[in-house]
Structure 1
């Protein structure tokens, strides 16, 4: 039996003798070139200068954007705290004080003094530097019933000082009402940008039923 034999010729690879020869590698739709040129120093300086110009132009806009986010975030947290205060007052049968310190820019929630020895659920927050508090006077018409009227007659000296000094109280009672001495609205004001008349303002105000607080946007004058 005879077998057919095949002769194999070794493949050859021709490499150019000069280094200036260009070589390419094709992979699918991409072509990689062997003589790609890097950025020069002048090109790098131009790119960095363009980036610096873009950042300097957009930075004020970005700062105002994040400040607006801080105002919205604090307003929603304050509103959530009013809901939490109302729920705790009803569930625990103890009046809850949501206090606002306009000088220290602090606000928090605690059980009314004298009803519990210590409040382990008390919380406190501080406003960012660019935000401040303003508190409006309580409404003149009382609709919350005899319980709150009796509570007002039993107001302690510390309660009176709190309502006339820098610390204001939003009091939530176990019967589901808001004390008649509670402010009509708490304003969160953002510091005005340079050249602006005044900054943005968000109000946490009593609702029409005066059984809860709600967010309201205040248009700057």
Structure 2
């Protein structure tokens, strides 16, 4: 049925129907659930003049980029801080930016993934593919350190809600994951639909500016 046929049937002019269709939320917004969506980033305890909880600048920027993406998808968002001993997920749809070394909630989410896991070996962290044992490491930890990083990204469907989990090997990796979602969400949705999945994202960065991001592995649908 054409726009000119639909419009009278729902008591709209053709021009108004065209406007509504142009401003309607895109299908790929379902990647983040139905909303509202909370965005959580971790406190990281560091010692300056005394030990205190701090939020890394990269994590703040990651939350900013995610909030901008969610706003463009017509979501209402809130922000929260993840405590170092936090074990429980918040209610409702949420994005958790937290690795297993930052809080137990990050570790429990990764433990529920049948396709990927994060392991610590020889004083560094790796993302490992369960089926093949293939490992992905951060260039930052190489003998000749690079400027890029990698991140674990997953979508969990839990009790009718969506949990997006992002865990960079380092904080810049999480920012790279947000960059990849912002620039590739239609492709992510086309490859995975409304399922649970996980992937590995690599990025290159200049300070906190992400120069590019791409899939290193996956997405693995489960």
Same topology, TM > 0.5: no
Normalising by the smaller structure, the TM-score range is: under 0.3
- TM-score where L is the length of structure 2: 0.26
Give TM-score, length-normalised by structure 1.
0.26
In proportion to residue count, which structure has more strand?
A: 2
Larger radius of gyration: 1
